[in-house]
Structure 1
Amino acid sequence: MKTRRTLIKAIGIFSLILLLYFASLHIKIREHTNVKAPNHADYIIILGARVKGEVPSLALQYRIDTAADYLKANKESIAIASGGQGAGEEISEAEAIKRGLIARGINRNRILLEDHSTDTVENIKFSKKLTPNNLQTGLLVTNDFHLYRAKSIAKDQGLDLEGLPAKTPAVAIPKSYGREYLAITKYYLVKFFQD
């Protein structure tokens, strides 16, 4: 009986620690979503997300729309569309972003394509190589839940980027945040063992 009570107590304590940990992650994520992006950035990096055939997922469409609005208001900024071609995608995520921006009236001459990356780390790493040396200030465009981790990865790559948060589709919020908690945990663990 005592062993069982001890086990239940241990499970309860572990569950509480886990709950507090995920709550702290949620606070960090939210801190990076309620910020106003500065105007006149030299460049913006639009991170890819799933494409269904040739059609951007709703999450990616929100990123495209947010980027297009910014580029219309800041006519000197250039865009780096980032994302390779995954399973079930007939075009790269970068190409889908480019097409979406052009459809929203952005001149193709303002759009650079990074179409080889397979994850957020590669998005930023490969986009950095495309960034002209004379450009200083940059923004990351991604859905709000993803911004904290994306900015942290950018900092690891030597880029001090502000964020330009796009909405997260309401239907995807539980799944997106749940996956992001795990992705941030993986990021922390990889960083810990690399240091």
Structure 2
Amino acid sequence: MRKMSVPKIVFMCIFALIGIICILYGLKVHSAGYGSAFFAVWLALGIFFIFCTWAVWFGLWMRLPKWFRIAFIALCVVCLGFFAVIEACIASRINSKGEDNLDYIIVLGAMIREDGPSSILKARLDSAIEYLDGNPGTKCIVSGGQGYDEPCSEAEGMRKYLVEKGIDESRIIMEPDSMNTIQNIRNSKAIIDNDNAKVGIVTSKFHVYRAVKIAEKQGFKNVSGISAYVVASYMPSNMFREFFGVVKDTLQGNM
């Protein structure tokens, strides 16, 4: 029987458990049809952890040059630290409620289906309704174009939902051309045409940090976030995916 130290056994058990959890979670996300193809990242991460366990068990890790092992561990530590910093930034805005008496709120679009808003968009709209009910002087911009698999523009679908829920149609402004967050905010800014207006961005709680930073980059001087509910079991996947969104938009100069 292979003799192994207690720390090494603990390491293997932890990595194997993490790998199994990642794979099962990825399958859960995939089965729910939630998060597009990002479930594959969880599967890949799970396979990586299981491979590390296998490499330690069969002694492959110790056969690698010492300099490589040190460099690999150092790289992992740096990457984990970077990941933790970005995730902390994202988490800092997940419970944003926005200021009272904003001039405008902008509801960022998401999938519209034949039977109405998707669950993630419905949550954003419900947050917008709650805010509008408490702040009767605020106008609402609904922003989102029409995807190839959507029956109408996201803006039109959102307008219908808000009106059905009792929001006065005169308070709703449609922006039906945007296809991503950058365009949502840029096109909405053109409608507002006032850099000093007090504006709230209504979006899913994991997306608030990036949306507000993009708005600030585009010239909004008084902008805050209004977070919408997300199913708790899918928050890990959303937070993980948002990490890549923040990195991408930072590198592209969007935020």
| TM-score using structure 2 length | 0.70
Match of 1:68 among 117, 120, 129: 129
Is the CA contact (8 Å cut-off) linking 2:103 and 2:139 kept in structure 1? yes
Please state whether the residue corresponding to 2:161 is helix, strand or coil.
helix
1:17 match: 78
% identical aligned pairs: 35
Once the two structures are overlaid, the 10-residue window that deviates more, 58-67 or 89-98, is 89-98
CA RMSD of aligned residues (A): 1.9
Distance 1:2 1:175, change over 3 A: closer
Match of 2:243 among 181, 184, 188: 181
Once the two structures are overlaid, the 10-residue window that deviates more, 81-90 or 119-128, is 81-90
1:51 match: 112
Please state whether the residue corresponding to 1:88 is helix, strand or coil.
coil
Distance 1:135 1:80, change over 3 A: farther
Amino acid at match of 1:47: L
Higher relative contact order (CA 8 A, sep 6+): 1
Distance 1:176 1:53, change over 3 A: farther
Distance 1:157 1:49, change over 3 A: same
- Moved runs in structure 1, 4+ residues, more than 3 A? 132-135
Structural mapping, 1:137-156, within 5 Å: 137-156=198-217
Is structure 2 residue 140 aligned with structure 1 residue 79? Answer: yes
Is the CA contact (8 Å cut-off) linking 1:54 and 1:91 kept in structure 2? no
Larger radius of gyration between Structure 1 and Structure 2: 2
Q: Give structure 1 stretches of 5+ with no counterpart.
A: none
Distance 1:84 1:171, change over 3 A: farther
Amino acid at match of 1:185: V
Match of 1:163 among 219, 225, 231: 225
1:29 match: 90
Please state whether the residue corresponding to 1:125 is helix, strand or coil.
helix
Q: Give structure 2 stretches of 5+ with no counterpart.
A: 1-61
Deviation at 1:55, TM superposition (A): 2.3
1:120 match: 181
How far apart, in 2, do the equivalents of 1:111 and 1:43 lie? 10
How far apart, in 1, do the equivalents of 2:89 and 2:196 lie? 28
Deviation at 1:67, TM superposition (A): 0.1
Is the CA contact (8 Å cut-off) linking 2:195 and 2:220 kept in structure 1? no
Deviation at 1:13, TM superposition (A): 1.5
